């Protein structure tokens, strides 16, 4: 089976084509500036269907007025004799879509039909920046590949197992029942993949693992996993709650919002600042890229140093809290761009977690980069800290295959 995985933003389409026989990536790419006449297609053919490895990349300017035309251009690249990897669209058996928000209506990946489209559309109120382009991608795939089954894989699905004690806010009951005010959480596909992969690495079944998984990138979230199921999560009704992030503030006294509105900012301005101008960027005044901040901190930039230390401190606080609510803990698992690659951040985390049983091993820390998985603590550590690279696209492809084969 070949599965085409699509992740649509408002002006972009990320994609990968998988051969599910061996879970290999055949091709991948990114179409940027969808909606413009000078869109840019970055396409890489990774492996041909006959098994011969290739590495043919293209970067070209194209006219992609909408997601449908964009997907047609991508399919053209997949079919192209010079850098394509398939001979016919018929080779693609299904299309898997990343969809951010399923609300309380959908708690698993599902085959797309009119009812599912309606649910995604209705939950766009909760994810106005994500669900609409996700819908555009599904519509585009249906138009570009008529008759192909489409599967929606929801960011919120893995987190649907949170109990009411974790997902309810201490607000009037009517707010929850009438306005759906509750914690939903995000990055669920990443946390699910990392949970399954860590269980495999530990030689356990998924239902046997108790983990704290931390997805650390420009967006950051952390999940408490008990028996392979999510039981608490840092992000909330929106991705703004929780850890300090690249440009998001994370946890904040809600009264700050009212205070800043009373001091002249509009609600829209406050929302924009907390989502796009806060976090690492806001504290440092320099960058939302951890690499830039670590370099600046080494050079004596105090604001950059503070931003890094706050980032680490808040992660440690969540790990401590989730350690208290889990009945046992097999490992803390780091993933995402920072979690997988930032040696200084990982080192600082292990040092701060010493009291909980982490024993840093610098040799392992240095060795576990560039897509490698493994522990970065010593063998005798009672709190093992692991690095496990995430693969959301593969998780989407796996779920798509599961849904299609189970029809």
pLDDT per residue as tens digits for the range 176-187: 999 999 999 999
Domain assignment present for 183: no
Domain assignment present for 404: no
Does residue 208 sit in the same domain as residue 110?
Answer: no
Does residue 378 sit in the same domain as residue 231?
Answer: yes
pLDDT computed for residue 57 by the predictor: 84
Mean pLDDT of 242-271: 97
Tokens of 4: 């085409």
* Total domain count, the chain: 2
Q: How far apart are CA 320 and CA 169, in angstroms?
A: 21
Domain assignment present for 194: no
pLDDT surpassing 80 at residue 55? no
Q: How far apart are CA 249 and CA 274, in angstroms?
A: 5
Q: Please state whether beta strands 53-64 and 220-226 pair in parallel, antiparallel, or not at all (unpaired).
A: unpaired
pLDDT computed for residue 3 by the predictor: 98
CB 377 within 8 A of CB 385: yes
Does residue 220 sit in the same domain as residue 128?
Answer: no
Domain boundary among 154, 173, 192: 154
Domain assignment present for 125: yes
CB 169 within 8 A of CB 181: yes
Angle (nearest 5°) at CA 139 between 134 and 145: 120
- Out of 105, 155, 173, 292, the active site residue is 155
Does residue 212 sit in the same domain as residue 308?
Answer: yes
Per residue in 318-364, pLDDT (tens digit) is 999 999 999 999 999 999 999 999 999 999 999 999 999 999 999 99
pLDDT surpassing 50 at residue 25? yes
- Identify the domain containing residue 52 by its residue range: 2-154
Mean pLDDT of 104-133: 92
Domain boundary among 134, 154, 174: 154
Q: How confident is the model at residue 127 (pLDDT cuts 50, 70, 90)?
A: confident
Domain assignment present for 165: no
Q: Write the CATH number for 31.
A: 3.30.420.40
pLDDT surpassing 70 at residue 305? yes
Helix (H, G, I), strand (E, B) or coil at 352: helix
Domain boundary among 154, 184, 214: 154
pLDDT surpassing 70 at residue 54? no
Domain assignment present for 175: no
**Closest C-alpha to 161, from 75, 229, 102, 91:** 229
Does residue 300 sit in the same domain as residue 225?
Answer: yes
Residue 155 among the catalytic residues: yes
- In this prediction the pTM is 0.93
Domain assignment present for 399: no
Does residue 49 sit in the same domain as residue 113?
Answer: yes
Stated as kind and residue range, the H or E segment containing 63 is strand 53-64
Residue 17's beta-bridge partner residues?
A: 4, 27
Q: Please state whether beta strands 220-226 and 12-19 pair in parallel, antiparallel, or not at all (unpaired).
A: unpaired
Q: How far apart are CA 50 and CA 203, in angstroms?
A: 33
Does residue 227 sit in the same domain as residue 145?
Answer: no
Domain assignment present for 172: no
Q: How confident is the model at residue 47 (pLDDT cuts 50, 70, 90)?
A: low
């Amino acid at each position: 089976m070949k599965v085409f995985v699509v992740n649509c933003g408002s002006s972009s389409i990320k994609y990968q084509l998988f051969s599910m026989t061996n879970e290999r990536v055949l091709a991948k790419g990114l179409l940027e500036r969808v909606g413009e006449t000078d869109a840019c297609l970055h396409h890489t053919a990774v492996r041909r269907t006959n098994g011969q490895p290739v590495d043919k990349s293209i970067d070209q300017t194209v006219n992609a007025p909408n997601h449908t035309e964009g997907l047609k251009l991508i399919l053209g690249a997949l079919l192209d004799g010079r850098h394509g990897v398939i001979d016919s669209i018929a080779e693609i058996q299904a299309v898997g879509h990343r969809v951010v928000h399923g609300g309380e209506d959908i708690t698993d990946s599902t085959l797309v039909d009119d009812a599912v489209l309606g649910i995604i559309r209705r939950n766009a109120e909760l994810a106005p920046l994500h669900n609409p382009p996700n819908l555009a991608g599904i519509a585009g795939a249906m138009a570009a590949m008529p008759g192909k089954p489409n599967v929606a894989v929801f960011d919120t699905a893995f987190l649907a197992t949170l109990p009411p004690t974790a997902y309810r806010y201490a607000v009037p009951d009517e707010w929850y029942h009438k306005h759906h005010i509750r914690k939903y959480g995000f990055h669920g596909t990443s946390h699910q993949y990392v949970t399954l992969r860590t269980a495999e690495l530990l030689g356990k079944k998924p239902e046997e693992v108790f983990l704290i998984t931390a997805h650390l990138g420009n967006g950051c979230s952390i999940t408490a996993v008990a028996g392979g199921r999510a039981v608490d999560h840092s992000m909330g009704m929106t991705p703004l709650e929780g850890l300090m992030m690249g440009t998001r503030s994370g946890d904040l006294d809600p009264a700050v919002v009212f205070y800043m509105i009373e001091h002249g900012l509009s609600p829209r301005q406050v929302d924009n600042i907390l989502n796009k101008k806060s976090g690492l960027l806001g504290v440092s005044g320099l960058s939302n890229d951890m690499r830039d901040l670590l370099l600046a901190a080494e050079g004596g930039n105090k604001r950059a140093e503070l931003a890094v230390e706050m980032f680490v401190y808040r992660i440690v606080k969540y790990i401590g809290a989730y350690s208290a609510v889990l009945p046992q803990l097999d490992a803390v698992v780091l993933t995402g761009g920072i979690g997988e690659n930032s040696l200084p951040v990982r080192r600082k985390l292990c040092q701060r977690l010493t009291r909980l049983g982490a024993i840093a091993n610098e040799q392992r820390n240095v060795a576990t980069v560039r897509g490698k998985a493994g522990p970065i603590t010593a063998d005798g550590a009672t709190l093992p800290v692991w690095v496990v690279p995430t693969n959301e696209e593969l998780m989407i492809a796996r779920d798509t295959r599961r849904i299609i084969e189970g029809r």
